[in-house]
Structure 1
Amino acid sequence: MAEKESGNMKNNSSGDAVPGRTEQILCQPCSNKEKQTVAGVFCSTCDEFQCTECSNVHTTHAFLRNHKLVNAKEVKTKQVAFDMKGLDQCDQHHKVLEFFCEDENQLCCSTCAIVDHRKCHSVVEIQKIAERSASASSKLKVKLQEVREKAEKIVKNTKSSKEKLNQDVKELSLKIRRMRDDVMKLFDDLEVSVAKDAESFKTETVNKLTKKQSDSEKHIADATKFLETIDNIHQNVTPSQKFILEQRMKKQVDELSSNVDKECQRLETVTISFDFDNTMKLPLLPISDYVPGQLTLKYSVPEAAKPIKTVEPIVKLTNITSIDLKQTGDDVKEPLYSGLDFLLDGRVVTVDNKNKKCLIYNEKLEKVGSYQLSFIPQSVIAVSEEEVAITSGSKYTIAFLRVSKSNEITLNRTCKVKTQYDSICMKDERHFVVGTIDDTRPFRIVSLSGEEKDFSINFPNKKYPINTSAYTYIRNSDKVVLTDRYEHTVYIYDITSNTKVVVNDDQIKEPRSVAVGPSDCILICNNQAHTIVQISQAGRFLSSYKLDMIGPYRICVSKNKSLIAVSSNMNGGRKLQLLKVT
Structure 2
Amino acid sequence: MTESGYKIGEVDEIPGRVKETLCQPCLSKDKQTVADKFCSTCNEFQCNDCSNVHNVLNILINHELVSVKETNATSISFIMEALDICDQHQKHFKFFCEDENILCCSTCAIVNHRKCHSVVEIEKIAGKMTSVGSKLGEKLLEAREDAEGIARHIRSSKDQLAKDIKEIHVKVRRMRDEVMRMFDDLEDFVIKRAETLQRETSEYLTMKQTQNDKHLVDVTSCLETIESIFKNGTPVQKYIAEQKMESKINALCRNIRKECQNLMTVNISFHFDETLKLPPLPVTEYVPAQLLLKYYRQKDLNSVNMAMTLTQVSAIVLDKSGDDIDEPFYTGIDFLPDGRLVAVDNTNKRCLVYNEKLEKVGSHQLSYIPLSVVVVSEEEVAITRGNEYSIEFLHVSKCNEITSSKTCRVKSKYYSICMKDDKQFVVGTFGEPKPVRIVSMTGEEHDFSVNFPNKTYPIGTSASTYINSSDKVVITDRDEHTVCICDIKTDTRVEVKDNLIQEPRGVTVGPFDTILVCSNKTNTIVQISQTGQMLSSYNIDMKYPYRVCVSRDKSCLVVTNNCLGNNTMQKFKIST
Give the structure-1-normalised TM-score.
0.47
Give the structure-2-normalised TM-score.
0.48
Q: Which has the larger radius of gyration?
A: 1
